[in-house]
Amino acid sequence: MSANSPPGKSDGGDPQDNRSLPSVPPNAMENLGARIRDLDVDSIRRYLAQKLGFYDQIESSTSSEKVLDEVSLEGIVNWIKSERCKNIITLAGAGISTSAGIPDFRSPETGLYHNLQKYDLPEPQAIFEINFFRQNPKPFFMLAKELYPGSFKPTPSHYFIRLLHEKGLLLRHYTQNIDTLERCAGIPEEKLVEAHGTFYTSHCLDCRKEYPLEFVKEHIFTDQIPICTVCPGIVKPDIVFFGESLPERFQRCLQEDFQHCDMLIIMGSSLEVQPFASLIDMVPDWCPRLLINREKAGVRSPLLRLWGVMGGGLQLDDDSVRDVARLGDCDDGAQDLADRLGWGDELRALVASEHERLDREGRVPAAFPSRSGCTPVSTTLTEHKL
């Protein structure tokens, strides 16, 4: 913690590695089958009898006490304003970027997976599978050319997270997104954990030589597959494909961050992809959790919770003591929360001034700023056409 950090807060820098805590969040699905096999028939009958009302469910002796003064958005606002709230962690999915024009993955009709037929893939997810990429990188780079931002700008959701940082409340922002809009919004790099990687840097798959964003961009927009200048390996953006490990920074930061979290805000995520989805269960039992999303997410099956097969997930029913859902578009939810906190005009002014600055500076693509200290690598080398 630096001298400039508020009391009781982390400064958001890289955590120390001397903690004897788990290095990865619990992946509930890994031992799901084994635990289900251990369930006996009598426990299944008991669960069904409870659901059918044949006898009352026994109250747990460890039931949680009420955390918020009222389990509502207003209760969340009061908590954030209180002295107890000093270290907010935000978790973000594709929903915070859709208003910028970037598609999410799973929405019917408009989602990315729904519109990949033209790439003639064995299955939609293959475009992000590392083994398929090694054999046939062309579909990915064709898609990357389409998705490269033209005039994408951070959304009010991104700037709300920046506002949390400026208020001294943001411990860390964990994002599933690879669009780098958080960086463009001015959220400091030390506050970011890009759990699924980023387009910001790239590496050769063979020799691991690093390349700046400009190198890959120039190749993609000239319909060429980027090839390493040192060896014949393919240069791949540092986004996490299926079959690859998550970034080391993700595993390192969560060891330290979540034990200190006193407010969790989830924005625009379906909470379906592991291990990111399990992060909601890593905060302390008393930590309030707010979901800002178009629909409820992160709610676990009562049957699996009863048997302890999966983490508890969010409890968004009448029995909730700490979990609140603000359903609707992320930007509306972020602005609503800012208004209630008394930051509404500040957020509107920040969005307007930053968008005006990006327009004035001609930041196109706005979501992909140049990396400080990196000079674009010459593209005069042997190249593969797409």
Quickly list DSSP for 166-196. HTT-EEEEEE---S-HHHHTT--GGGEEETT
Assess contact for 235 and 204: CB atoms under 8 A.
yes
pLDDT at 109: 53
- pLDDT higher than 90, residue 343: yes
- pLDDT higher than 50, residue 212: yes
66: Cβ contacts below 8 Å, ≥ 6 apart: 321, 322
| Look-up of token digits 């302390």 | 284
pLDDT at 64: 55
Choice among 42-56, 186-200, 365-379 with the minimum mean pLDDT: 365-379
- pLDDT higher than 80, residue 107: no
- DSSP notation for 82-116: STT---EEEEE-GGGTGGGT---SS-TTTSGGGG-
- pLDDT higher than 60, residue 216: yes
Assess contact for 88 and 263: CB atoms under 8 A.
yes
Neighbours of 377 (CB within 10 A): 18
Give the mean model confidence (pLDDT) for residues 223-250.
Answer: 91
pLDDT at 37: 43
Give the mean model confidence (pLDDT) for residues 260-283.
Answer: 93
Neighbours of 173 (CB within 10 A): 26
Give the mean model confidence (pLDDT) for residues 366-380.
Answer: 30
36: Cβ contacts below 8 Å, ≥ 6 apart: 307, 309
CA 255 to chain centre: 17
Query: Which residue in 144, 174, 162 sits closest to 239, CA to CA?
Result: 144
From 158, 196, 219, 260, the catalytic residue: 196
Q: Rounded to 5 degrees, what are φ and ψ at 192?
A: -100, 140
* Residue-wise pLDDT tens digits, 131-176: 999 999 998 988 888 776 545 899 999 999 999 999 999 999 999 9
Q: Rounded to 5 degrees, what are φ and ψ at 134?
A: -60, -35
| Look-up of token digits 């805000």 | 265
- pLDDT higher than 70, residue 91: yes
Helix (H, G, I), strand (E, B) or coil at 63: coil
The answer on whether 228 is annotated among ligand-binding residues is yes
How confident is residue 49, by pLDDT bands cut at 50, 70 and 90? low
Give the mean model confidence (pLDDT) for residues 73-99.
Answer: 96
How confident is residue 382, by pLDDT bands cut at 50, 70 and 90? very low
**Taking the alpha carbons of 102, 108, 113, 117 in that order, is the dihedral positive or negative?**
negative
Amino acid identity, residue 151?
S
The answer on whether 287 is annotated among ligand-binding residues is no
pLDDT at 172: 98
pLDDT at 206: 95
Question: What is the CB-side half-sphere exposure of residue 345 using CA atoms within 13 A?
Answer: 1
CA gap 95, 157 in Å, rounded: 9
Across 63-183, the runs of DSSP E, i.e. the strands, are 88-92, 170-175
The answer on whether 85 is annotated among ligand-binding residues is no
Percent of the chain predicted with pLDDT > 70: 69
Mean pLDDT taken over the chain: 78
CA gap 17, 191 in Å, rounded: 17
* Residue-wise pLDDT tens digits, 55-80: 444 443 344 567 899 999 999 999 99
- pLDDT higher than 50, residue 11: no
* Verdict on whether the full-model pTM lies above 0.85: no
Give the mean model confidence (pLDDT) for residues 244-248.
Answer: 87
The answer on whether 231 is annotated among ligand-binding residues is yes
pLDDT at 50: 52
pLDDT at 28: 40
Percent of the chain predicted with pLDDT > 90: 47
283: Cβ contacts below 8 Å, ≥ 6 apart: 89, 258, 261, 264, 289
Max CA-CA distance within the chain? 76
pLDDT at 384: 36
- pLDDT higher than 50, residue 19: no
Choice among 18-22, 180-184, 299-303 with the minimum mean pLDDT: 18-22
Asked about 196 being catalytic, the answer comes back as yes
Query: Which residue in 238, 277, 267, 289 sits closest to 155, CA to CA?
Result: 267
